[in-house]
Amino acid sequence: MTEKYRRFLHAVRAFMPRERVYTDYLRRLAWGADAGFYRLVPQIVVRAAGEDEVVRLMQEAARLGVPLTFRAAGTSLSGQAVSDSVLVVAGKHWERCEVLDGGRAVRLQPGVVGARVNEVLKSYGYRFPPDPASIRSAMVGGIVMNNASGMNCGTHANSDRMLLSARLVLADGTLLDTGDEASRRAFSESHAEFLRAIEALRDRVRGDKALTERILHKYSIKNVMGLNLLPLVRFDDPFEIIAHLMVGSEGTLAFLAGVTMRTEREYEHKASAMVYFSDIGEASRAVVEMRKLQDAAGERIVHSAEMLDRKSLASVGDATGEGLTALLTETKAHTPEELAANVVRIGELLGRFALYVPARFTDDPAEQAKFWALRSGIFPAVGGSRPAGTTCLIEDVAFHIGDLPRATAELQALIARHGYDDACIYGHALEGNYHFIINQSFSTPAEAARYEALMDDVAELVVGRYDGSLKAEHGTGRNMAPFLRREWGDAACAVMRAVKELFDPAGLLNPGVIFNDDPRCHLSHFKPLPLTDPLIDRCIECGFCEVNCLTCGLTLSSRQRIVVRREIARLKASGGNPRLVRELERGYRYPGERTCAGDGLCSTSCPVGINTGELTHALRALRVPPGSAGHAAGEFAARHFAGLKSVLRPVLTMADATHRVFGTRTMTTVTKGLHALGLPQWLPSMPRAYRMPETLRTAPAPEPDKVVYFPSCINRTMGLARETPVAEPLAGKMVALLRKAGYEVVFPENMERLCCGTIWESKGMADIADRKTAELEEALWRASGEGRWPVLCDQSPCLHRMREKIGRMKLYEPAEFIWTFLRDRLEFRPQPGPVAVHVTCSMRRMGLAGVIVSLARLCADEVVVPEEVGCCGFAGDRGFTHPEVNAWALRKLRPVIERSGVKAGYSNSRTCEIGLSARSGVPYVSIVYLVDACTTPKENPGA
């Protein structure tokens, strides 16, 4: 680190906490990675938490001449969010979302995930107009600053069109809110010369008729190449120009601290069709005609027409489209009648073209979702199946709609001519916007030269022949910076340079992005993707997993874990810097391994289903190989499992007695000190000891319907917390509910010895875990009459593992069993007042999230499923050994509980309920208690 960076670091640490300023290689590497195919490692990473900090950062950077690069989610694809200087992250601390004017507008901070905005707006009947494919992970800052769009968002509804005002921190540290009159007045006084320069640039552009016409022509299609010049034509007010210049500027002009944007009314009715054509030319001609269809109000009837060439269809396993080209088409309306009329008109038009089979539209949400899942899965599917050692690249071009049929065919031929046989073309054909994916190796000069030749020819085709856009929605970045002048020409580039120099005279904001004097900058700093582990080798580092990673923002995210493991593998394979390898291995232990909950939720939003929890288990296994002391301890615990529970019960009893004597406050203070010495953390919601009474195992009378009940080892050992609204431990309540519904309850033999194996699996001892599962399976097989009767386990994480490993019996957790078998036998009388429901990770992964929520709605007038709360982070014993993970995962829970007036919460995992109770301020217990409290036996079951 040079002297100026040391001075900058010293200055920053004077006003920012050290836990948000990173200089170690592991975290600089991890935070510096994004979804693109370039890699730079920043010298310093700063996670800013508010405008005041950004102002100070800007001021210190300007004083010392230190470059800054800003990023939010890191889902950018063109190299605009990587840095070898100072990276400023604005994510988890920038998540405010305020709905305005009944949903017609929304005020947002840059760290709000796009899909979250739509969740907030849904109840108002509106939606956030920009819709990039990454909207479930991309944050508003990146969406606006890249002018990202997607399948329904053309030039009519992109960020530039929908932006009302922007809140900015300029390079000199000045804060400007273009939507606030007082801020505008203050800026007019302090930056009068700046405003005059904006007006002069506006007049300069408008005074050049040819340039004005070129700007209007270029922005008549999707175009994010270079800085956004359209505001200089569209607006008179210099503040409007300033705000809109931010859109697509990729952090090269200022820091975007917030935006206010118009929304669009959501359509209530939609219909989609996958329409197959024999060739891409015929499909393109159909798109040209579909774009012309309008309703009586002049609005488009066709809202989406996604082109999928034959290789795109093959990549996602569409058997119908083998050897064909498809258009995934969608129409929307506010009434069923309008929708039906739209479908008829589109069908009539398509009937004029050579279709493989007649077009069939569906308004079934489930069927539509399958279509759109195919479309969304193309990039990750191609990237996930790329040859070992190659990088997955995605390019993003646009043509004027009239040129589409010829340009499409020529683009397809061009890619094939350069030998990219596995490339595919797909994208937003209705906007003339295509993506093409290639799997590229840069291991030899010949391969790098092939890519360079391809890009030169693409530029010639798109710009030279058709005057299209080399970047339609993914941002210029480093990827297209060398082609800026080629696309725009001298006059337009001179204006862009003038804008850059006005906002950033020292050139410190995101250097090398958009403006780069190196004509080969797009051919360097490629991201290495070495073979590391089969569990993660398909990862393309898109970052889609992070929205479901509970430690993202606390230690490392799932993507960051993969980035670090790949770097370790790369260094080992090259034989370079063994000291750095040791440093990374040691440094990874806590943030990468110990704080990973292993819940697997990251896989639910990963396009190729990578479960980073499995990687964590594999790494833990390396530390406890057979024959090691740790593995021997695991073997001892497995063989003496019943005895170990007998040892645990007195510990729980002693903790409860101490709590009763000293009280919660003293107990918390003392145990926090003991936790700092390495002991597990005590929580006020810690349960008391419990042993199932033998009376539970004796059925009062044989019943025709039987169920095998396997109480998890946790619920056989842990009873109720000291302060809880229920009076009976779960096993007793479960048995009572089953008998109320007319079931005879059967228990497996030698139950105290039985366990599903999750404990050992989480510690990396899969062999012992599988042995315990097999032992349990045999006991359940015998108890169930060899599979005649269903099996119920009262702990959803245990049931998840049981389902993965046991296939010859029907296995259920409580909510699903009650919903499936008891619902028709019980009379439900909903309780007044709101209740909270926590959907566990295992329920989500088993596809049962809707079941527990639906069951709760039978039992309570109002059911609250707290927003932005995923995995609770308790993860078995992690809530005791690493309580900071549980606290971080549930940091947004208590405000929702308090705002909703909830007095009790329900779930179906005892350990999760311990953490939920501790962090929410209300008791959480099993959903079984809620069902039992509001039900009586039906007089005529099934009636």
Given 821, 853, 869, the domain boundary residue is 821
What are the start-end ranges of the H helices in 543-689?
Answer: 558-574, 578-588, 602-605, 612-623, 629-639, 641-676
Taking only the tens place, the pLDDT of each residue in 156-181 is: 999 999 999 999 999 999 999 999 99
Given 447, 474, 501, the domain boundary residue is 474
- Indicate whether 554 belongs to any domain: no
DSSP 8-state secondary structure symbol assigned to residue 465: I
- Indicate whether 663 belongs to any domain: yes
Q: 660 pLDDT band (50/70/90 cuts)?
A: confident
- Indicate whether 390 belongs to any domain: yes
- Indicate whether 497 belongs to any domain: no
Q: 683 pLDDT band (50/70/90 cuts)?
A: confident
Least confident of 50-59, 370-379, 726-735: 370-379
Q: What is the CATH number of the domain that holds 396?
A: 3.40.462.10
- Is the domain of 225 the same as that of 297? no
Q: Provide the domain limits for residue 893.
A: 824-937
The CA distance from 317 to 937, in Å, is: 49
Instruction: Judge whether residue 700 has pLDDT over 80.
Output: no
The CA distance from 33 to 74, in Å, is: 7
- Indicate whether 428 belongs to any domain: yes
**3 state DSSP class of 753:** helix
- Indicate whether 568 belongs to any domain: no
Indicate the pTM of the whole model: 0.93
User: According to the model, what pLDDT value does residue 564 have?
Assistant: 98
State the average pLDDT over residues 111-115. 96
Instruction: Judge whether residue 519 has pLDDT over 90.
Output: yes
Least confident of 180-194, 338-352, 483-497, 681-695: 681-695
Cβ-based neighbour number of residue 589 at 10 Å: 12
What percent of the chain is modeled with pLDDT above 70? 99
Looking at the DSSP bridge assignments, the partners of residue 827 are 936
- Is the domain of 279 the same as that of 224? no
Least confident of 79-88, 210-219, 421-430: 421-430
Given 259, 281, 314, the domain boundary residue is 259
- Is the domain of 394 the same as that of 448? yes
- Is the domain of 74 the same as that of 39? yes
Residue corresponding to tokens 């230190």? 66
The CA distance from 452 to 447, in Å, is: 9
Q: 942 pLDDT band (50/70/90 cuts)?
A: low
Residue 702 Cα distances to 433, 507, 707, 821, angstroms: 68, 82, 12, 18
- Is the domain of 736 the same as that of 757? yes
- Is the domain of 193 the same as that of 280? no
**3 state DSSP class of 926:** strand
Q: 837 pLDDT band (50/70/90 cuts)?
A: very high
- Is the domain of 346 the same as that of 451? yes
**3 state DSSP class of 352:** coil
Instruction: Judge whether residue 405 has pLDDT over 90.
Output: yes
* DSSP track, 254-320: -EEEEEEEE-EEPPSEEEEEEEEESSHHHHHHHHHHHTT-B-TTS-BSEEEEEEE-HHHHHHTT-ST
User: According to the model, what pLDDT value does residue 724 have?
Assistant: 84
CB contact at 8 A, 28 and 41: yes
Q: Which carries the bigger pLDDT value, residue 529 or residue 28?
A: 28
**3 state DSSP class of 521:** helix
- Is the domain of 773 the same as that of 869? no
Least confident of 128-132, 527-531, 740-744, 909-913: 527-531
Q: What's the mean pLDDT when you consider all of the chain? A: 93
- Indicate whether 431 belongs to any domain: yes
The CA distance from 208 to 781, in Å, is: 83
75: its two tokens: 């889902």
Taking only the tens place, the pLDDT of each residue in 434-481 is: 999 998 888 888 988 999 999 999 999 999 999 999 999 999 999 999
CB contact at 8 A, 609 and 731: no
Buried b (16+ CB within 10 A) or exposed e, 913-932: bbbbbbbbebbbbbbbbbbb
CB contact at 8 A, 110 and 94: yes
- Is the domain of 237 the same as that of 384? no
- Is the domain of 91 the same as that of 11? yes
- Is the domain of 241 the same as that of 273? no
Instruction: Judge whether residue 500 has pLDDT over 60.
Output: yes
The CA distance from 605 to 601, in Å, is: 7
Q: What is the CATH number of the domain that holds 933?
A: 3.40.50
User: According to the model, what pLDDT value does residue 699 have?
Assistant: 66
- Indicate whether 918 belongs to any domain: yes
- Is the domain of 154 the same as that of 242? yes
Quote the number of domains for the chain: 4
Cβ-based neighbour number of residue 617 at 10 Å: 22
Taking only the tens place, the pLDDT of each residue in 32-91 is: 999 998 999 999 999 999 999 999 999 999 999 999 999 999 999 999 999 999 999 999
